Amino acid sequence: MEQRSLRLGITCFPLIGGSGILATALGMDLAARGHEVHFFSYARPVRLDLSAQRIHFHEVAVGEHSVFPCPDYTLPLAVMMAEVGRAERLELFHVHYAVPHATAAFLAAEMIGDFAPRIVTTLHGTDTTLLGQNPQYQPAIAHALTHSDAVTAVSESLKQQTIDTFKLSRTVDVVGNFFTPGSPTRTRDEVRRDFGISDNEFIALHMLNLRPTKRIDLLLKIIGAMKRRDRMRLLILAGSSFEPYEHLLDELGVRNNVIVSSATEPVEDYLQACDAGVYTSEVESFGLSILESMFFGKPVVAFRAGGIPEVLANTGSLHDFGDITAMARALDELIESPDRATELGEAARRRAESNFTADKAIPKYEAIYRRVLDGN
């Protein structure tokens, strides 16, 4: 029996980072399946195609007023969500991050009153692993989760940590991230040539934001500890300023090994041009960039943190957090053993294609939507 289409709003952060990328991909896929999808954010999400059918974007201006000591985003967001929710008769708000997004959704629902949209909150990590440890935010996050009609987490690790952190007695559904790779717009050789990288150099790719928990300092120390550094180039796709780490390039002697770039091309262009992914997060609920590397058959070297083992299983090279020597040795081995690198990469691709596709994830979200709309 064919299910009717839904009218929903998705609220996310717009910049490079797993939560915004996942939310955008989810909304685009839902629209392709016939649902009407409205996006809310302070800027257009970087991968959102506004020409797609049934996709709408509502830009929220950050509030600034002399009466307030700091700019405010939560209240203008709540007002926009309430106005659009009422006018478009939205049935659901699917928000990515509890604060400020679930808080804004709760306020919007209160303003709408009768027939307000239901609220589904997806946790990507920061609400629990960082803000949840801060007493200034912990009660607000707990309130947002308690008053959501459904809560999802992107890994079993994050689910359990969330339940423990906020002492939740409610159900938390696990829906893993997914990725639908597109076709590269340029060849591997073209991308490498633009960066001045020769054919015999090995490119390790790092595609995460530069927040402190991503431990860029350890990433650079790993490159500095490599024996085959003469053949290594590290490409960092940075979503923010690299300036805090500039001094380490010279201190560790790795300036000639590191390329920092903003992601101006489709991510597929960079993925096909690299030879491996390397990730050094101290906490990581899932690691969407790791999944993207896997889909392109790239071996992944990472610290054993959070949900990363759930994603990689036995297809990657996992090491205890902070073990710089082991990480450097693993990268050296990939350079020295191309066959081993290919073997790991192909195993990673098979795991990604078997477990983390849109066809696996989207029906789970749709089932949650229909469950909360049925009042269950």
Q: Which residues contact 34 (CB under 8 A, 6 or more apart)?
A: 5, 54
| String of DSSP letters for 277-319 | EEE--SS-SS-HHHHHHHHTT--EEEE--TTHHHHHTTSSEEE
Sign of the CA dihedral with 19 first, then 135, 144, and 132 last: positive
Q: Are 315 and 294 in contact (CB under 8 A)?
A: yes
Task: State what percent of residues in the chain have pLDDT above 70.
Answer: 98
Sequence letter at residue 18:
G
pLDDT tens column, 275-307: 999 999 999 999 889 999 999 999 999 999 999
pLDDT tens column, 98-152: 999 999 999 999 999 999 999 999 999 888 887 888 899 999 999 999 999 999 9
Query: In CATH, what class is 7-178+357-373?
Result: alpha beta
Are the folds of 7-178+357-373 and 188-355 the same? yes
What's the CA gap between 239 and 201, in Å, rounded?
Answer: 25
Q: How confident is the model at residue 269 (pLDDT cuts 50, 70, 90)?
A: very high
Q: pTM for this one?
A: 0.89
Q: Token pair for residue 7?
A: 């009218």
Sequence letter at residue 273:
A
pLDDT tens column, 225-237: 999 999 999 999 8
Averaged pLDDT for residues 270-279: 96
| String of DSSP letters for 116-172 | PPEEEEEE-SHHHHTGGG-TTTHHHHHHHHHTSSEEEESSHHHHHHHHHHHT--S--
Residue 246 in this model has a pLDDT that exceeds 90: yes
Averaged pLDDT for residues 82-104: 96
Topology of 188-355 in CATH? Rossmann fold (3.40.50)
What's the CA gap between 12 and 214, in Å, rounded?
Answer: 20
Lowest mean pLDDT among 24-33, 96-105, 158-167, 236-245: 236-245
Lowest mean pLDDT among 176-185, 197-206, 256-265: 256-265
What is the structure's pLDDT at 282? 93
Residue 243 in this model has a pLDDT that exceeds 60: yes
Max Cα distance, the chain (Å): 65
What is the structure's pLDDT at 71? 84
Neighbouring CB atoms inside 10 A of 62's CB total: 11
Q: How confident is the model at residue 2 (pLDDT cuts 50, 70, 90)?
A: low
Residue 372 in this model has a pLDDT that exceeds 70: yes
Mean predicted lDDT score pLDDT of the chain: 93
Averaged pLDDT for residues 24-30: 96
Q: How confident is the model at residue 63 (pLDDT cuts 50, 70, 90)?
A: confident
What is the structure's pLDDT at 16? 60
Rounded (10°) CA dihedral 92, 93, 96, 102:
-130
Q: Is 118 left (phi over 0), alpha (psi -120 to 50) or beta?
A: beta
Averaged pLDDT for residues 1-25: 85
DSSP β-bridge partners for residue 302: 279, 318
What's the CA gap between 79 and 58, in Å, rounded?
Answer: 11
What is the structure's pLDDT at 266? 86
What is the structure's pLDDT at 272? 94
Higher confidence at residue 164 or residue 126? 164
What is the structure's pLDDT at 343? 96
Strand 317-319 with 300-303, pairing: parallel
Averaged pLDDT for residues 354-368: 96
Strand 202-206 with 173-174, pairing: unpaired
Where does residue 271 rank: exposed (0-12), middle (13-18), buried (19+ CB within 10 A)? buried
Q: Are 235 and 259 in contact (CB under 8 A)?
A: yes
Where does residue 211 rank: exposed (0-12), middle (13-18), buried (19+ CB within 10 A)? middle
What's the CA gap between 259 and 371, in Å, rounded?
Answer: 47
Residue 1 in this model has a pLDDT that exceeds 60: no
Helices (H), the chain: 18-32, 74-87, 103-112, 126-129, 138-146, 156-166, 188-194, 216-225, 246-251, 267-273, 288-295, 308-312, 324-336, 338-355, 358-373
Q: Which residues contact 51 (CB under 8 A, 6 or more apart)?
A: none
Backbone angles phi, psi at 68, to 5 degrees: -100, 140
How do the domains of the chain map onto residue ranges? 7-178+357-373, 188-355
What's the CA gap between 25 and 327, in Å, rounded?
Answer: 31
Task: State what percent of residues in the chain have pLDDT above 90.
Answer: 81
